[in-house]
Chain A
Amino acid sequence: MDGMHDLGGKQGFGPVKFVPHAPAFHADWEHRVNALYSLAVRGGVYNMDEYRHAIERMDPRHYLSASYYERTLTGLATLCVEKGLVTQEELDVLAAGHFPLSNPSAPGRSNAPERERFKPGDKVSVKPDYVSGHMRMPGYIRGKSGVVVGESPPYPFPDAHAHGVDSADEPTYDVRFRTQDLWPDASEDALVHVGVFQSYLVRAD
Protein backbone atom coordinates (compact mmCIF):
# COMPACT_ATOMS: atom_id res chain seq x y z
CA MET A 1 0.00 0.00 0.00
CA ASP A 2 1.09 3.55 -0.59
CA GLY A 3 1.03 4.31 3.13
CA MET A 4 2.54 6.98 5.32
CA HIS A 5 5.32 4.55 6.28
CA ASP A 6 6.79 4.75 2.77
CA LEU A 7 9.06 7.66 3.61
CA GLY A 8 12.04 7.19 1.30
CA GLY A 9 12.61 10.37 -0.68
CA LYS A 10 9.79 12.35 0.97
CA GLN A 11 10.81 15.99 1.18
CA GLY A 12 10.38 18.55 3.92
CA PHE A 13 12.04 16.66 6.76
CA GLY A 14 14.77 18.36 8.74
CA PRO A 15 18.11 17.47 10.30
CA VAL A 16 18.49 14.00 11.80
CA LYS A 17 18.33 14.27 15.59
CA PHE A 18 21.73 12.66 15.89
CA VAL A 19 24.17 12.24 18.72
CA PRO A 20 27.07 9.79 18.47
CA HIS A 21 26.47 6.40 20.14
CA ALA A 22 22.76 7.14 20.61
CA PRO A 23 20.63 4.71 22.63
CA ALA A 24 17.90 2.43 21.25
CA PHE A 25 15.53 3.06 24.18
CA HIS A 26 14.53 6.03 26.32
CA ALA A 27 11.91 4.70 28.74
CA ASP A 28 11.17 1.51 30.64
CA TRP A 29 7.89 0.92 28.76
CA GLU A 30 9.82 0.91 25.46
CA HIS A 31 11.90 -2.06 26.64
CA ARG A 32 8.73 -3.83 27.70
CA VAL A 33 6.79 -3.29 24.47
CA ASN A 34 9.82 -4.36 22.42
CA ALA A 35 9.82 -7.63 24.39
CA LEU A 36 6.03 -8.02 24.07
CA TYR A 37 5.89 -7.74 20.30
CA SER A 38 8.78 -10.21 19.95
CA LEU A 39 7.24 -12.69 22.40
CA ALA A 40 4.00 -12.52 20.40
CA VAL A 41 5.96 -13.48 17.25
CA ARG A 42 7.59 -16.36 19.12
CA GLY A 43 4.21 -17.38 20.49
CA GLY A 44 2.86 -17.67 16.96
CA VAL A 45 0.31 -14.83 17.24
CA TYR A 46 1.55 -13.27 13.99
CA ASN A 47 4.54 -13.20 11.64
CA MET A 48 6.89 -10.30 10.89
CA ASP A 49 5.13 -9.37 7.64
CA GLU A 50 1.77 -9.16 9.41
CA TYR A 51 3.45 -7.06 12.09
CA ARG A 52 5.02 -4.61 9.64
CA HIS A 53 1.75 -4.29 7.76
CA ALA A 54 -0.21 -3.65 10.96
CA ILE A 55 2.05 -0.65 11.64
CA GLU A 56 1.73 0.57 8.05
CA ARG A 57 -2.06 0.62 8.45
CA MET A 58 -1.96 3.17 11.29
CA ASP A 59 -3.89 6.34 10.58
CA PRO A 60 -1.31 8.62 8.92
CA ARG A 61 -1.77 11.35 11.53
CA HIS A 62 -1.16 8.82 14.30
CA TYR A 63 1.77 7.24 12.43
CA LEU A 64 3.63 10.54 12.11
CA SER A 65 2.99 11.71 15.66
CA ALA A 66 3.67 8.41 17.44
CA SER A 67 7.14 7.49 18.65
CA TYR A 68 8.78 4.37 17.22
CA TYR A 69 7.76 2.18 20.16
CA GLU A 70 4.21 3.57 20.20
CA ARG A 71 4.00 2.28 16.62
CA THR A 72 5.24 -1.10 17.87
CA LEU A 73 2.52 -1.06 20.53
CA THR A 74 -0.19 -0.14 18.03
CA GLY A 75 0.81 -2.89 15.60
CA LEU A 76 0.88 -5.45 18.41
CA ALA A 77 -2.53 -4.42 19.77
CA THR A 78 -4.14 -4.27 16.32
CA LEU A 79 -3.07 -7.83 15.53
CA CYS A 80 -4.19 -9.12 18.94
CA VAL A 81 -7.67 -7.72 18.17
CA GLU A 82 -7.68 -9.07 14.60
CA LYS A 83 -6.55 -12.51 15.82
CA GLY A 84 -9.32 -12.61 18.40
CA LEU A 85 -7.25 -12.36 21.60
CA VAL A 86 -9.08 -9.23 22.77
CA THR A 87 -11.59 -6.68 21.44
CA GLN A 88 -11.30 -2.93 20.93
CA GLU A 89 -13.97 -2.42 23.59
CA GLU A 90 -12.07 -4.54 26.12
CA LEU A 91 -8.87 -2.62 25.40
CA ASP A 92 -10.64 0.71 25.95
CA VAL A 93 -12.10 -0.50 29.24
CA LEU A 94 -8.79 -1.92 30.48
CA ALA A 95 -6.97 1.29 29.51
CA ALA A 96 -9.72 3.52 30.97
CA GLY A 97 -9.45 5.60 27.81
CA HIS A 98 -9.20 5.16 24.07
CA PHE A 99 -6.71 2.60 22.74
CA PRO A 100 -6.09 3.65 19.09
CA LEU A 101 -5.60 0.82 16.62
CA SER A 102 -4.65 0.63 12.95
CA ASN A 103 -7.12 0.73 10.09
CA PRO A 104 -8.40 -2.54 8.53
CA SER A 105 -6.39 -4.59 6.07
CA ALA A 106 -7.13 -5.02 2.36
CA PRO A 107 -6.61 -8.39 0.61
CA GLY A 108 -3.10 -9.53 -0.24
CA ARG A 109 -1.82 -11.25 -3.38
CA SER A 110 0.38 -14.19 -4.30
CA ASN A 111 3.63 -14.24 -6.32
CA ALA A 112 3.69 -13.00 -9.90
CA PRO A 113 2.85 -16.02 -12.10
CA GLU A 114 5.98 -15.61 -14.19
CA ARG A 115 9.21 -14.74 -12.46
CA GLU A 116 12.60 -14.41 -14.04
CA ARG A 117 15.93 -15.41 -12.60
CA PHE A 118 18.53 -12.63 -12.75
CA LYS A 119 22.27 -12.50 -12.26
CA PRO A 120 24.61 -9.70 -11.24
CA GLY A 121 24.96 -7.18 -14.05
CA ASP A 122 21.45 -7.73 -15.42
CA LYS A 123 19.45 -4.58 -16.08
CA VAL A 124 16.00 -4.75 -14.51
CA SER A 125 12.91 -2.58 -14.14
CA VAL A 126 10.52 -2.43 -11.22
CA LYS A 127 6.97 -3.16 -12.35
CA PRO A 128 4.50 -0.29 -11.99
CA ASP A 129 2.40 -2.29 -9.48
CA TYR A 130 -0.14 -0.67 -7.19
CA VAL A 131 -1.59 -2.87 -4.45
CA SER A 132 -3.87 -2.16 -1.50
CA GLY A 133 -2.30 -4.78 0.78
CA HIS A 134 1.24 -5.16 2.07
CA MET A 135 4.29 -4.90 -0.14
CA ARG A 136 7.97 -4.20 0.43
CA MET A 137 8.58 -2.05 -2.63
CA PRO A 138 9.33 1.52 -1.64
CA GLY A 139 7.38 3.86 -3.89
CA TYR A 140 10.50 5.66 -5.05
CA ILE A 141 11.63 2.69 -7.19
CA ARG A 142 8.26 1.99 -8.84
CA GLY A 143 8.74 1.88 -12.61
CA LYS A 144 12.46 2.68 -12.31
CA SER A 145 15.38 0.76 -13.79
CA GLY A 146 18.60 -0.40 -12.18
CA VAL A 147 21.27 -3.09 -12.21
CA VAL A 148 21.34 -6.30 -10.19
CA VAL A 149 24.33 -6.54 -7.84
CA GLY A 150 23.33 -9.45 -5.59
CA GLU A 151 20.83 -12.21 -4.92
CA SER A 152 19.48 -13.48 -1.60
CA PRO A 153 18.20 -16.92 -0.64
CA PRO A 154 14.40 -17.34 -1.05
CA TYR A 155 12.18 -15.57 1.49
CA PRO A 156 8.43 -15.69 2.17
CA PHE A 157 6.70 -13.30 -0.25
CA PRO A 158 5.53 -10.37 1.91
CA ASP A 159 2.51 -9.42 -0.22
CA ALA A 160 1.10 -12.88 0.58
CA HIS A 161 2.73 -13.64 3.94
CA ALA A 162 1.18 -10.56 5.58
CA HIS A 163 -2.29 -11.72 4.57
CA GLY A 164 -2.32 -15.51 5.03
CA VAL A 165 -2.27 -16.01 1.25
CA ASP A 166 -0.47 -19.08 -0.13
CA SER A 167 2.73 -18.32 -2.00
CA ALA A 168 6.14 -19.68 -2.86
CA ASP A 169 9.30 -18.31 -1.26
CA GLU A 170 11.28 -16.22 -3.71
CA PRO A 171 14.67 -14.50 -3.77
CA THR A 172 15.25 -10.80 -3.47
CA TYR A 173 17.73 -9.01 -5.69
CA ASP A 174 19.89 -6.15 -4.52
CA VAL A 175 19.30 -3.64 -7.30
CA ARG A 176 21.50 -0.58 -7.77
CA PHE A 177 19.76 2.63 -8.82
CA ARG A 178 21.22 6.05 -9.50
CA THR A 179 19.63 8.89 -7.58
CA GLN A 180 19.53 10.88 -10.83
CA ASP A 181 17.22 8.20 -12.29
CA LEU A 182 15.04 8.11 -9.17
CA TRP A 183 14.64 11.86 -8.67
CA PRO A 184 16.07 13.61 -11.75
CA ASP A 185 17.52 17.02 -10.95
CA ALA A 186 16.26 16.95 -7.37
CA SER A 187 18.62 14.67 -5.48
CA GLU A 188 22.27 14.34 -4.58
CA ASP A 189 24.46 12.05 -6.64
CA ALA A 190 24.71 8.58 -5.08
CA LEU A 191 23.98 4.92 -5.76
CA VAL A 192 20.95 3.59 -3.91
CA HIS A 193 20.58 -0.17 -3.41
CA VAL A 194 17.22 -1.73 -2.66
CA GLY A 195 16.36 -5.36 -1.84
CA VAL A 196 13.65 -6.09 -4.43
CA PHE A 197 11.49 -9.21 -4.48
CA GLN A 198 11.61 -11.22 -7.69
CA SER A 199 7.86 -10.74 -8.32
CA TYR A 200 8.39 -6.97 -8.53
CA LEU A 201 11.00 -7.15 -11.31
CA VAL A 202 11.14 -7.57 -15.08
CA ARG A 203 14.16 -7.63 -17.36
CA ALA A 204 14.98 -4.29 -18.94
CA ASP A 205 16.56 -3.89 -22.37
Chain B
Amino acid sequence: MTDRPAFQKVTAPVETRVAVMEKVLEKHGIANDAAIVGFDKHAAEQWVPQNGARVVARTWSDPGFRQRLLENGRAAVTELGLTMPKHHRHLVALENTDKVHNVICCSLCSCTAFTIIGLPPDWYKDLDYRARAVRESRSVLKEMGLDLPADMEIRVWDTTADTRYMVIPTRPKGTEGWTEEKLAGIVTQDSMIGVSRL
Protein backbone atom coordinates (compact mmCIF):
# COMPACT_ATOMS: atom_id res chain seq x y z
CA MET B 1 0.00 0.00 0.00
CA THR B 2 2.77 2.45 0.86
CA ASP B 3 4.22 2.47 -2.68
CA ARG B 4 0.92 3.52 -4.26
CA PRO B 5 0.39 7.22 -4.96
CA ALA B 6 -1.68 9.02 -2.34
CA PHE B 7 -4.66 9.51 -4.63
CA GLN B 8 -5.02 5.75 -5.02
CA LYS B 9 -4.83 4.94 -1.33
CA VAL B 10 -7.88 4.16 0.71
CA THR B 11 -8.48 6.80 3.35
CA ALA B 12 -8.35 5.45 6.90
CA PRO B 13 -11.57 5.73 8.95
CA VAL B 14 -11.93 9.03 10.78
CA GLU B 15 -11.99 7.34 14.21
CA THR B 16 -8.65 5.69 13.40
CA ARG B 17 -7.17 9.01 12.31
CA VAL B 18 -8.28 10.65 15.58
CA ALA B 19 -6.66 7.82 17.56
CA VAL B 20 -3.45 8.36 15.57
CA MET B 21 -3.40 12.05 16.47
CA GLU B 22 -3.92 11.14 20.13
CA LYS B 23 -0.77 9.00 19.92
CA VAL B 24 1.20 11.74 18.18
CA LEU B 25 0.23 14.42 20.71
CA GLU B 26 0.80 12.08 23.65
CA LYS B 27 4.30 11.28 22.40
CA HIS B 28 5.08 15.02 22.45
CA GLY B 29 3.56 15.55 25.89
CA ILE B 30 0.75 17.78 24.58
CA ALA B 31 -2.30 15.59 25.26
CA ASN B 32 -3.24 12.33 26.94
CA ASP B 33 -6.46 10.56 27.82
CA ALA B 34 -6.87 12.35 31.15
CA ALA B 35 -6.36 15.76 29.52
CA ILE B 36 -8.83 14.94 26.72
CA VAL B 37 -11.49 13.73 29.13
CA GLY B 38 -10.84 16.69 31.43
CA PHE B 39 -11.12 19.20 28.60
CA ASP B 40 -14.33 17.64 27.32
CA LYS B 41 -15.87 17.59 30.80
CA HIS B 42 -14.97 21.25 31.30
CA ALA B 43 -16.53 22.14 27.92
CA ALA B 44 -19.71 20.19 28.65
CA GLU B 45 -20.16 21.67 32.11
CA GLN B 46 -18.89 25.23 31.69
CA TRP B 47 -19.58 26.34 28.10
CA VAL B 48 -23.34 26.09 28.20
CA PRO B 49 -26.20 28.28 26.95
CA GLN B 50 -27.40 28.74 30.55
CA ASN B 51 -24.53 31.25 30.92
CA GLY B 52 -25.94 33.47 28.19
CA ALA B 53 -29.44 32.91 29.51
CA ARG B 54 -28.35 34.43 32.84
CA VAL B 55 -26.87 37.41 30.96
CA VAL B 56 -30.16 37.94 29.11
CA ALA B 57 -32.22 37.63 32.31
CA ARG B 58 -29.98 40.18 34.06
CA THR B 59 -30.26 42.50 31.05
CA TRP B 60 -34.05 42.36 31.26
CA SER B 61 -34.06 42.92 35.04
CA ASP B 62 -31.34 45.46 35.67
CA PRO B 63 -31.13 48.62 33.50
CA GLY B 64 -27.69 49.46 34.91
CA PHE B 65 -26.36 46.06 33.88
CA ARG B 66 -28.00 46.43 30.46
CA GLN B 67 -26.12 49.69 29.93
CA ARG B 68 -22.80 48.18 31.03
CA LEU B 69 -23.35 45.15 28.77
CA LEU B 70 -24.04 47.33 25.75
CA GLU B 71 -20.97 49.45 26.47
CA ASN B 72 -18.50 46.64 27.22
CA GLY B 73 -19.90 43.14 27.03
CA ARG B 74 -16.70 41.37 27.97
CA ALA B 75 -16.36 43.31 31.23
CA ALA B 76 -20.08 43.15 32.07
CA VAL B 77 -20.38 39.35 31.93
CA THR B 78 -17.68 39.03 34.59
CA GLU B 79 -20.30 40.40 37.03
CA LEU B 80 -22.01 37.01 36.56
CA GLY B 81 -18.75 35.12 37.02
CA LEU B 82 -18.43 34.48 33.28
CA THR B 83 -15.22 34.73 31.28
CA MET B 84 -14.16 34.59 27.65
CA PRO B 85 -10.98 33.19 26.08
CA LYS B 86 -8.07 35.61 25.77
CA HIS B 87 -8.47 35.93 22.01
CA HIS B 88 -12.14 36.95 22.32
CA ARG B 89 -11.35 40.54 23.20
CA HIS B 90 -14.77 42.02 22.57
CA LEU B 91 -18.38 40.93 23.20
CA VAL B 92 -21.14 42.84 21.43
CA ALA B 93 -24.70 42.38 22.71
CA LEU B 94 -27.35 42.87 20.01
CA GLU B 95 -30.75 43.86 21.32
CA ASN B 96 -33.83 42.75 19.44
CA THR B 97 -36.84 45.06 19.40
CA ASP B 98 -40.34 44.92 17.94
CA LYS B 99 -38.90 46.37 14.73
CA VAL B 100 -35.37 44.92 14.59
CA HIS B 101 -34.24 41.30 14.54
CA ASN B 102 -30.58 40.30 14.91
CA VAL B 103 -29.07 36.98 13.86
CA ILE B 104 -25.45 35.78 14.01
CA CYS B 105 -23.45 33.46 11.78
CA CYS B 106 -19.87 32.67 10.75
CA SER B 107 -19.63 32.32 6.98
CA LEU B 108 -15.90 31.43 7.09
CA CYS B 109 -15.91 28.76 9.83
CA SER B 110 -17.79 28.42 13.12
CA CYS B 111 -16.91 31.34 15.39
CA THR B 112 -19.20 32.00 18.37
CA ALA B 113 -19.05 33.37 21.91
CA PHE B 114 -19.01 29.72 23.02
CA THR B 115 -18.17 30.37 26.67
CA ILE B 116 -21.28 32.56 26.91
CA ILE B 117 -23.93 31.10 24.58
CA GLY B 118 -22.54 27.55 24.50
CA LEU B 119 -20.76 25.51 21.84
CA PRO B 120 -22.54 26.11 18.53
CA PRO B 121 -25.10 23.55 17.34
CA ASP B 122 -24.35 21.30 14.35
CA TRP B 123 -26.37 23.28 11.77
CA TYR B 124 -24.57 26.55 12.65
CA LYS B 125 -21.30 24.98 11.44
CA ASP B 126 -22.84 23.32 8.39
CA LEU B 127 -22.44 24.58 4.82
CA ASP B 128 -26.04 25.60 4.13
CA TYR B 129 -26.36 28.04 7.03
CA ARG B 130 -22.90 29.50 6.42
CA ALA B 131 -23.61 30.10 2.73
CA ARG B 132 -27.18 31.37 2.95
CA ALA B 133 -27.57 33.30 6.23
CA VAL B 134 -25.89 36.45 4.89
CA ARG B 135 -27.68 36.55 1.53
CA GLU B 136 -31.20 35.26 2.14
CA SER B 137 -31.72 35.58 5.86
CA ARG B 138 -35.49 36.05 5.73
CA SER B 139 -36.04 32.79 3.84
CA VAL B 140 -33.54 30.89 5.96
CA LEU B 141 -35.21 32.05 9.18
CA LYS B 142 -38.65 31.22 7.80
CA GLU B 143 -37.51 27.71 6.86
CA MET B 144 -36.19 27.35 10.41
CA GLY B 145 -39.58 28.25 11.82
CA LEU B 146 -39.21 32.01 12.34
CA ASP B 147 -41.55 33.88 9.99
CA LEU B 148 -40.76 37.56 10.62
CA PRO B 149 -43.19 40.37 9.69
CA ALA B 150 -42.30 42.02 6.37
CA ASP B 151 -41.62 45.36 8.07
CA MET B 152 -39.15 43.95 10.59
CA GLU B 153 -35.55 44.90 9.77
CA ILE B 154 -33.11 41.99 9.78
CA ARG B 155 -29.53 42.59 10.88
CA VAL B 156 -27.13 39.73 10.18
CA TRP B 157 -23.76 39.65 12.00
CA ASP B 158 -21.03 37.61 10.31
CA THR B 159 -18.37 36.64 12.88
CA THR B 160 -15.32 37.12 10.66
CA ALA B 161 -12.90 38.44 13.32
CA ASP B 162 -12.43 37.71 17.02
CA THR B 163 -15.22 40.03 18.13
CA ARG B 164 -18.05 37.88 19.47
CA TYR B 165 -21.78 38.56 19.36
CA MET B 166 -24.86 37.48 21.26
CA VAL B 167 -28.47 38.35 20.59
CA ILE B 168 -30.59 39.71 23.45
CA PRO B 169 -34.11 38.49 22.67
CA THR B 170 -37.10 40.68 23.48
CA ARG B 171 -38.64 39.88 26.84
CA PRO B 172 -41.89 37.94 26.40
CA LYS B 173 -45.13 39.48 27.63
CA GLY B 174 -46.49 37.94 30.82
CA THR B 175 -43.09 37.65 32.51
CA GLU B 176 -43.43 40.79 34.63
CA GLY B 177 -42.27 40.25 38.19
CA TRP B 178 -40.41 37.02 37.41
CA THR B 179 -37.13 36.35 39.20
CA GLU B 180 -33.90 36.35 37.15
CA GLU B 181 -33.63 32.61 37.66
CA LYS B 182 -37.11 32.00 36.28
CA LEU B 183 -36.45 34.35 33.35
CA ALA B 184 -33.16 32.59 32.54
CA GLY B 185 -35.09 29.34 32.31
CA ILE B 186 -36.96 30.45 29.19
CA VAL B 187 -33.93 31.75 27.23
CA THR B 188 -32.68 29.29 24.61
CA GLN B 189 -29.42 29.09 22.69
CA ASP B 190 -31.38 29.38 19.43
CA SER B 191 -32.81 32.72 20.60
CA MET B 192 -29.31 34.02 21.44
CA ILE B 193 -28.11 33.05 17.95
CA GLY B 194 -31.21 34.75 16.60
CA VAL B 195 -32.95 31.92 14.76
CA SER B 196 -35.91 32.05 17.14
CA ARG B 197 -37.74 34.64 19.23
CA LEU B 198 -39.20 33.97 22.65
Residues of A within 8 A of B (CB): 5-11, 13-24, 26-27, 29, 31-36, 38-40, 43, 45, 48, 52, 55, 64, 67-68, 70, 73, 76-77, 80, 85-86, 89, 91-100, 136-138, 140, 150, 152-153, 155, 172, 174, 176, 179, 182-183, 187-197
Partner of A16, one of B12, B87, B144, B157: B144
Separation in Å of the A99 CB from the closest CB of chain B? 6
Residue of B nearest to A94 (CB): B20
Give the docked Cα–Cα distance between A18 and B9 (Å).
35
B31 and A187 contact, CB distance less than 8 A: no
B143 and A24 contact, CB distance less than 8 A: no
Q: Which residues of B contact A43 (CB under 8 A)?
A: 25, 28-31
Task: List residues 88-130 of chain B with CB under 8 A from any CB of chain A.
Answer: 89-90, 92, 107-110, 118-123, 125-130
Most buried by B among A8, A34, A153, A189: A8
Q: Which residues of B contact A77 (CB under 8 A)?
A: 17, 20-21
Give the docked Cα–Cα distance between A174 and B132 (Å).
20
Chain B contact residue count (CB 8 A cutoff): 77
Partner of B12, one of A80, A99, A136: A99
B130 and A7 contact, CB distance less than 8 A: yes
Task: List residues 1-22 of chain B with CB under 8 A from any CB of chain A.
Answer: 1-2, 6, 9-18, 20-22
A174 and B163 contact, CB distance less than 8 A: yes
B20 and A9 contact, CB distance less than 8 A: no
Residue of B nearest to A12 (CB): B131
User: Any chain A CB within 8 A of the CB of B182?
Assistant: no
A86 and B24 contact, CB distance less than 8 A: yes
Separation in Å of the A43 CB from the closest CB of chain B? 4
B158 and A18 contact, CB distance less than 8 A: no
Which of B59-67, B76-84, B166-174, B189-197 contacts the other chain?
A: B189-197
Most buried by B among A179, A188, A193: A193
Residue of A nearest to B44 (CB): A31
Q: List the count of A-B residue pairs having beta carbons below 8 Å apart.
A: 245
Q: Which residues of B contact A153 (CB under 8 A)?
A: 89-90
Known: A29-B14, A34-B43, A150-B92. Is A195-B134 also a contact (CB below 8 A)?
no
Give the docked Cα–Cα distance between A76 and B24 (Å).
11
Separation in Å of the A145 CB from the closest CB of chain B? 16
A152 and B90 contact, CB distance less than 8 A: yes
Q: Which residues of A contact B155 (CB under 8 A)?
A: 176, 190-191, 193
Q: Which residues of B contact A45 (CB under 8 A)?
A: 30
B110 and A96 contact, CB distance less than 8 A: no
Give the docked Cα–Cα distance between A67 and B2 (Å).
26
A17 and B128 contact, CB distance less than 8 A: yes
Separation in Å of the A66 CB from the closest CB of chain B? 9
Separation in Å of the B10 CB from the closest CB of chain A? 5
Separation in Å of the B9 CB from the closest CB of chain A? 4
Most buried by A among B1, B43, B135: B135
Q: Jot down 9 A-B pairs with beta carbons below 8 A, ordered by A.
A: A7-B131, A21-B121, A34-B43, A48-B87, A52-B109, A80-B24, A94-B24, A97-B13, A136-B108
Q: Which residues of B contact A150 (CB under 8 A)?
A: 92, 163
A20 and B131 contact, CB distance less than 8 A: no
Partner of B132, one of A13, A22, A92: A13
Most buried by B among A55, A96, A188: A188
Partner of B11, one of A26, A39, A98: A98
